Amino acid sequence: MPCTECGGPTVWDDAASSDICTQCGNLADPAQVILTSSDWHTEGMHHDLGLRDPAAPNFLKTRSNYTLAGQGQGIRDQKNALTMANFIKSLAVSMNAPGLTPRATVLFNQARAIGYFRWGSRARTVAGVCLSLALRESNRPDSIHDIATLLRCSHHLLSRTFISLAAALKITTITVDPSVYIATLQSYLTTILQDQTPGHDLPTPLLASLRQLSLLSVSNTAAALGRTLARSCPSDGNTKSSAASTACAIFMLSLEAESRDTLGSIGDLAKCLAARCHVGKGVVMSQYKIIQDQVALLIEKVPWLEGYRQKGGRAKLSKRLVVARGLKDVIRFNEEILQNTLLPDPLLQFDSDDEKDVDEDHEPEDHTATTIPSSGAEQDVKRPFADADVQASDDDRAAKRRKIHHSLDEASRFLLNPFNAPAAPKKRDSAQAKPSVSKFPLTSYVLSTASLSSVGPRAPTRLQLLAAARGGSDEDAIKDEELFAEGELEGFLRNDEEVEMFGRILQYSDDDDDGDEEVKASREAERKRKEERNNKRKRVQAGTEGLRQPVPKKSRVNLEAFAKFMQGEPGSDEDVEGELDHECHDGDQDGFSLLGLDSALGLEDDGDEDISSLQHIIQEEDDDGDVQQRRRTTKANHASLANDTGEEIILQLDDWRPASPTDFDSYETRYEQEYD
Of the candidates 554, 553, 576, 549, the residue with the CA atom closest to the CA atom of residue 565: 576
Per-residue pLDDT tens digits for 301-329: 888 888 888 777 777 888 899 999 999 99
Q: Which of 140-144, 302-306, 342-346 has the lowest mean pLDDT?
A: 342-346
Contacts of 205 (CB under 8 A, 6+ apart): 264, 265
- Does residue 69 lie in a domain region? no
Best-predicted range by mean pLDDT (187-201, 219-233, 341-355, 537-551): 219-233
CB-CB neighbours of 56 under 10 Å: 20
Of the candidates 349, 381, 348, the residue with the CA atom closest to the CA atom of residue 62: 381
Give CA–CA dist 561/244, Å, rounded: 105
pLDDT at 345: 73
Hey, is 633 helix, strand or coil? strand
Distances (CA, A) of 421 to 93, 410, 415, 491: 61, 8, 9, 51
Give CA–CA dist 561/572, Å, rounded: 19
- Does residue 425 lie in a domain region? no
- Does residue 620 lie in a domain region? no
- Does residue 278 lie in a domain region? yes
Per-residue pLDDT tens digits for 438-480: 444 555 555 555 544 444 556 778 788 888 787 777 777 888 8
State the DSSP H helix or E strand holding residue 489, giving kind and residue range, or none if neither: helix 488-492
Give CA–CA dist 86/393, Å, rounded: 40
Q: Is 80 exceeded by the pLDDT of residue 263?
A: yes
Q: Which of 100-104, 125-129, 164-168, 355-359 has the lowest mean pLDDT?
A: 355-359
Q: What share of the chain is helix, strand, coil (3-state, %, to 5)?
A: 45, 5, 50
Burial 558-574 (b: 16+ CB within 10 A, else e): eeeeebeebbbeeeeee
Of 675 and 157, the structure prediction assigns the larger pLDDT to 157
- Does residue 294 lie in a domain region? yes
State the DSSP H helix or E strand holding residue 19, giving kind and residue range, or none if neither: strand 18-21
Which residues of 513-576 form beta strands (DSSP E)? none
Q: Is 50 exceeded by the pLDDT of residue 41?
A: no
Which residues of 540-643 form beta strands (DSSP E)? 615-621, 627-633
Give CA–CA dist 104/81, Å, rounded: 12
Q: Is 70 exceeded by the pLDDT of residue 384?
A: no
DSSP secondary structure of 109-175: HHHHHTT---BSHHHHHHHHHHHHHHHHHTTS---HHHHHHHHTS-HHHHHHHHHHHHHHHT-----
Q: Which of 33-37, 490-494, 522-526 has the lowest mean pLDDT?
A: 33-37
pLDDT at 613: 42
Average pLDDT, the chain: 70
- pTM, full prediction: 0.46
pLDDT at 247: 92
Please measure the distance between the N-terminal and C-terminal CA atoms of the chain and give it in whole angstroms: 135
Give CA–CA dist 616/659, Å, rounded: 10
State the DSSP H helix or E strand holding residue 10, giving kind and residue range, or none if neither: strand 10-13
DSSP secondary structure of 457-479: SSPPPHHHHHHHHHT--STTTS-
Burial label for 100, CB within 10 Å (0-12, 13-18, 19+), is buried
- The structural domain count of the chain equals 1
Give CA–CA dist 163/156, Å, rounded: 11
Q: Which of 234-240's residues contact partners 24+ apart within 8 Å by CB, and which partners?
A: 234/96, 234/97, 234/140, 235/140, 239/290, 240/139
DSSP state of 604: -
At residue 111 the predicted structure's pLDDT band, cuts being 50, 70 and 90, is very high
For residue 198, the enclosing domain spans 180-343
pLDDT at 126: 92
Q: What are phi and psi of 553, to 5 degrees?
A: -130, 150
**Using N-to-C axis directions, what is the helix angle for 182-193 and 243-259, rounded to 10°?**
50
pLDDT at 329: 92
pLDDT at 629: 41
Q: Are 3 and 23 in contact (CB under 8 A)?
A: yes
- Does residue 289 lie in a domain region? yes
Q: Is 60 exceeded by the pLDDT of residue 37?
A: no
- Does residue 339 lie in a domain region? yes
- Does residue 433 lie in a domain region? no
Helix then strand count (H, E) for the chain reads 25, 6
